[in-house]
Amino acid sequence: MTFEVDWRKYLEQVKTYIKSDKELRFWAIVGVVLVVGGGSYYGYHWINQRWTQKALMAFTESHDVYQQALGTQFNDKVQGEAKKELWDQVEIDFKQAGAHNKHSSFAPFFKAFRSQALNFQGSRDEALAEMQDAVDKMGNNYYRGLYQIGLSFILLDGDQDEKEQGIKKLLALADDEKNSFQDMALYYLGLYFSVSGEPEKASEYWKKIKQPSASVIISKKAESPWAQLAKIKLMELGQEKE
């Protein structure tokens, strides 16, 4: 069966979590925390480089349109043509910004966001190629694991061979203790098997998501939203107490 990410539900789940802490930013497929070089927010040594300032400005401007497009995508009151026009603009903006800043640290992120726009436009194969290129160019960037998960989502909507590649990627990310988005990979592996009618296998992956102890949790920020969502899924299966 074709696995499709339930974007509306996913967005609402992440939005609900993020609303509890104003310092958090959209990440995952919905957005990205704009830290490319590591260190503090935007990294002082990056901001002082003119080419990075230019790339950051281009990214911010393109991302503003992206947020508009994303905001209308699941609004039933907005006509389909209006949605299409916004995604067309997002695709053009990120393509042009990427071309003008191809030597910037932001270059892979221009590609990753263009990939999302292409996917919403229905250009799935081109979106796949663009996301793969983005991931390949990220090197050891902190957010590489996040976009590898995004890449696996696109693969899971392909033919049988691509589905197998997508699952293989998710499994590798879920097994990687150094992957900062390991819990997200585990959650979506569970979701895939749940949708595929394999609840036992789904619960196996959801149970692997580390639940921090009460003594560790100082604030909501210390909790993983994926651990929370996995707990809800396990409760639905009757395998977790409220």
As a three-state string, the secondary structure of 102-171 is CCCCCHHHHHHHHHHHHHHHCCHHHHHHHHHHHHHHCCCCCCHHHHHHHHHHHHHCCCHHHHHHHHHHHH
The structure tokens listed for 236 are: 């639905």
Q: How far apart are CA 210 and CA 188, in angstroms?
A: 15
Q: How far apart are CA 187 and CA 165, in angstroms?
A: 18
Which pLDDT value is given to residue 4?
44
Q: How far apart are CA 174 and CA 152, in angstroms?
A: 12
Give me the domains of the chain, ranges plus CATH numbers: 7-177 (1.25.40)
Q: What is the mean pLDDT of each run of 10 residues along the chain (242 residues)?
A: 43 45 35 32 42 79 86 82 92 94 87 91 93 93 88 89 93 92 90 90 91 48 76 85 57
Exposure letters 70-100 (e unless 16+ CB within 10 A, then b): bebeeeeeeeeeebeebbebbbebbbebbee
| Tokens 């209308």, residue located | 72
The structure tokens listed for 139 are: 């090197």
Which pLDDT value is given to residue 58?
87
Q: pTM of the full predicted structure?
A: 0.75
List Cβ neighbours of 24 (8 Å cut-off, separation of 6 or more): 17, 18, 221
Which pLDDT value is given to residue 129?
96
CB 7 within 8 A of CB 74: yes
Which pLDDT value is given to residue 133?
96
Which pLDDT value is given to residue 229?
85
Torsion angle (degrees, nearest 10) of CA 47, 51, 56, 58: 160
Among 89, 76, 71, residue whose Cα is nearest residue 30: 71
List Cβ neighbours of 229 (8 Å cut-off, separation of 6 or more): 13, 187
Among 121, 113, 122, 180, residue whose Cα is nearest residue 150: 113
